[in-house]
Structure 1
Amino acid sequence: MTVRLLPWEGPDGKRCYLVSDGTGLVSRMADTVERVQLGMADELLGHAADLLADRRATPEQLRFLLGRMRESLTEVCRIAESRGERLAGPRRE
């Protein structure tokens, strides 16, 4: 059994971990959530490029973009941390 950092937070905002062999339902669900989060981050980068190229973009639009990018970067960093831990080898619990 290994420990995996999941790509979502618990209701209290704390990190969620899964102890498993990596083949169960929750592991597959976590893989799916990671794929969706990474896809959304990629789409957000495209929107950011468009908005930043638009000289008519308002401060409110840019602030909104920055907020969504912060959320996305938080998710991407969590995914990178989780995958890095798995690459480093299994952590036994």
Structure 2
Amino acid sequence: MTPHNELRLLPWSGPDGKPCFLSTDGTNGPLSRLADRTEAAQLDLAAEVLEYSQEVLTDESSSLEELRLVASDLTGALRDALRVAASRGHRLPTLGTSDHGDSNKVPHLSAGAFG
């Protein structure tokens, strides 16, 4: 992928809760690598929260407090996963047209674009 200047949505918020962006022309800088590692950790945590929530929800003896905690954890994990998806979506290459020359848009992505 050719480098290009753009703002990257980072996987954390600023002190005021607003989104943070990085002006970058590539993915090899230290802040980009930190953001990549943070995104991976957030997605791993989301998978763990999902697995745990399934256990709590299928356990009929789960208390209301446990259910509220799971709902809170799921909300945070979903928020983080959506931010990662938005950030990665903005960094995907532009869609091209199909080989048939029609107006249908077909993505031309390498396997590396999917993680």
TM-score (norm 2): 0.74
Deviations 1:26-83 (A, max 9, x none): 0000000000000000001110111111000011100010001001100000000001
Q: Corresponding residue for 2:6?
A: 2
More helix by share: 1
The DSSP-based 3-state class of the residue aligned with 1:87 is coil
Is 1:40 equivalent to 2:50 in the alignment? no
Q: Corresponding residue for 2:90?
A: 85
Q: What does residue range 1-93 of structure 1 map to in structure 2 within 5 Å? A: 1-21=5-25, 22-89=27-94
Alpha-carbon separation, structure 2, partners of 1:20 and 1:77: 21
TM-score (norm 1): 0.91
Q: Corresponding residue for 2:104?
A: none
The DSSP-based 3-state class of the residue aligned with 2:62 is coil
Alpha-carbon separation, structure 2, partners of 1:27 and 1:84: 15
Structure 1 segments of 4 or more deviating over 2 A?
none
What residue ranges of structure 2 are gaps of 5+ in the alignment?
95-115
Letter of the structure 1 residue corresponding to residue 32 of structure 2? S
Percent sequence identity is: 42
Greater RCO between the two (CA within 8 Å, min separation 6)? Answer: 1
What root-mean-square deviation, in Å, do the aligned CA atoms of Structure 1 and Structure 2 show?
1.0
Q: 1:88 offset after TM fit, Å?
A: 4.8
Q: 1:23 offset after TM fit, Å?
A: 1.5
What residue ranges of structure 1 are gaps of 5+ in the alignment?
none
